[in-house]
A and B are shown apart, each in its own frame.
Chain A
């Protein structure tokens, strides 16, 4: 980001950032501008922060509904029991809000821990976290002088467990196209038969995607209006996938099945080949060199790596590889033959397994033929995932 700023770009981050400080120093809002952003409007999975405070002040009638939506693990955050200047106990507020929430009858299995993970949005779409993120990004586009280049980090929280898309998007999902989970109906399925719940869970996930698609459409429309569209590059990517109850697991958990580590990466923009796909192995580290490769002036502003021995000619200046040649449809040689995936997360955050969490570190090497995963320090026996 600092490279972009140095090169004269205006930078903005909207939504989920996940940078330090994250958990411990959340209130008052952390200042992420030191990372190289000119404008930041941050809101995360735990819902606290700017968006939460805006709802509490401007839409208090919906505050309880919003406090029913954070996942249960948020009550483990250190500041959750004493939030803001008033030192409000959000854990207590969240539990009460969840208890009072009228969950949809489709997922009412008589077991509350099962119903908290997926339901239609319990408050108006116009004030949703997703909409709030879009609005701030639109303002950023409007406020930036049209002759100044801009970089927008637009990071939505949803779709993410707990899934809660606005109800109107459920009607747009064609349920017949959604497959049943991997392993269901085979000898490898080790969970109870909850197919109707799982199908509804998946339907809500896709409804949230349609909502996301609509929101991104608003951004594209605005770029068109201000005359930036034909000069804009887009990178669509996610930080992780979603099990959607494949293998009877939900969320990203701490497993590295393909559903979790194979995420979408779409790059579009002027001069790039349209509608083509590529099956080479790419990693998140490729995004930085790709962005630096999008405009000829950017690379010269990027700091060179420090080394006591100096950097020789041809030495890369950052990790990863630019994807621009691939996106233009050019042939590349000597590309990586596997990916390394790492995660630090909870073992199971499925709505069907609340209360069975354990933090784990995991390393995975995935090539075309094999997946090899190690969870150091885990001593309860062989991993099954």
Chain B
């Protein structure tokens, strides 16, 4: 997980401790990774991703 940071803002609001390697957070981390990918793909919405591929925007 190089170049990655993950903070539990409830327990660590000042973002001091990177918990990316903490086994207790792996499930949440996987969910957020999926959500981020989803958001990146949809961020040009309402231009459909199919059109974006055609014009080479992503």
Measured between alpha carbons, how far is A52 from B21 in the docked complex, in Å? 50
B26 within 8 A of A: no
With beta carbons under 8 angstroms apart, the residue of B5, B18, B32, B46 that contacts A319 is B46
Measured between alpha carbons, how far is A381 from B5 in the docked complex, in Å? 11
Measured between alpha carbons, how far is A340 from B35 in the docked complex, in Å? 10
Known contacts A308-B51, A340-B39, A382 near B4 by CB under 8 Å: yes
Known contacts A370-B6, A383-B18, A317 near B46 by CB under 8 Å: yes
Give min CB distance, B26 to chain A, whole Å.
Answer: 12
Query: What are the residues of chain A within 8 A of B28 when measuring CB–CB?
Result: 370
**Chain A 292-312 interface 0/1 with B at a Cβ cutoff of 8 Å (1 = within):** 000000000000011111010
A264 within 8 A of B: no
Q: Which residue of B lies closest to A376 (CB)?
A: B3
Measured between alpha carbons, how far is A315 from B7 in the docked complex, in Å? 35
With beta carbons under 8 angstroms apart, the residue of B2, B5, B9, B14 that contacts A384 is B5
Query: What are the residues of chain B within 8 A of A317 when measuring CB–CB?
Result: 46
Residues 363-384 of A at the B interface (beta carbon under 8 Å): 363, 365, 367-384
A183 within 8 A of B: yes
Give min CB distance, A219 to chain B, whole Å.
Answer: 32
With beta carbons under 8 angstroms apart, the residue of A258, A318, A377, A383 that contacts B5 is A383
9 A-B pairs with the lowest CB-CB distances in the bound complex, closest first: A378-B3, A375-B3, A383-B5, A365-B36, A340-B39, A372-B32, A188-B16, A371-B7, A373-B5
With beta carbons under 8 angstroms apart, the residue of B7, B18, B35, B40 that contacts A338 is B35
**Chain B 35-58 interface 0/1 with A at a Cβ cutoff of 8 Å (1 = within):** 110011001111110010000000
With beta carbons under 8 angstroms apart, the residue of A285, A306, A373 that contacts B4 is A373
A316 within 8 A of B: yes
Q: Which residue of A lies closest to B32 (CB)?
A: A372
Query: What are the residues of chain A within 8 A of B43 when measuring CB–CB?
Result: 285, 319, 340
What DSSP secondary structure best describes chain B's contact surface?
Answer: loop
Give min CB distance, B20 to chain A, whole Å.
Answer: 7
Measured between alpha carbons, how far is A188 from B17 in the docked complex, in Å? 9
Interface contacts (Cβ under 8 Å), in number, total 96
Given contact pairs A307-B51, A373-B4, a sample of 12 additional A-B residue pairs in the complex whose CB atoms are under 8 Å apart: A186-B16, A188-B16, A247-B15, A257-B15, A309-B48, A315-B46, A319-B46, A368-B9, A369-B9, A378-B3, A383-B18, A384-B5
Q: B15 to A258, Cβ gap below 8 A?
A: yes
B residues at A contact (CB < 8 Å): 1-10, 14-16, 18, 20-21, 28-29, 32-33, 35-36, 39-40, 43-48, 51
Q: B4 to A340, Cβ gap below 8 A?
A: no
What DSSP secondary structure best describes chain A's contact surface?
Answer: loop
Q: How large is the interface on A (under 10, 10 to 19, 20 to 34, 35 or more residues)?
A: 35 or more
Measured between alpha carbons, how far is A374 from B32 in the docked complex, in Å? 11
8 contacts between A and B (CB under 8 A): A182-B14, A305-B46, A306-B47, A319-B46, A371-B5, A371-B15, A374-B36, A383-B18
A385 within 8 A of B: yes
**Chain A 347-363 interface 0/1 with B at a Cβ cutoff of 8 Å (1 = within):** 00000000000000001
Measured between alpha carbons, how far is A291 from B10 in the docked complex, in Å? 34
Measured between alpha carbons, how far is A376 from B37 in the docked complex, in Å? 13
Give min CB distance, A357 to chain B, whole Å.
Answer: 17
Q: B18 to A384, Cβ gap below 8 A?
A: yes
Measured between alpha carbons, how far is A258 from B16 in the docked complex, in Å? 12
Give min CB distance, A2 to chain B, whole Å.
Answer: 17
Query: What are the residues of chain B within 8 A of A340 when measuring CB–CB?
Result: 36, 39-40, 43
Give min CB distance, A384 to chain B, whole Å.
Answer: 6
Known contacts A319-B45, A365-B32, A371 near B4 by CB under 8 Å: no
Q: A374 to B4, Cβ gap below 8 A?
A: yes
Measured between alpha carbons, how far is A365 from B15 in the docked complex, in Å? 14
With beta carbons under 8 angstroms apart, the residue of A257, A305, A368, A372 that contacts B29 is A372
Query: What are the residues of chain B within 8 A of A308 when measuring CB–CB?
Result: 51
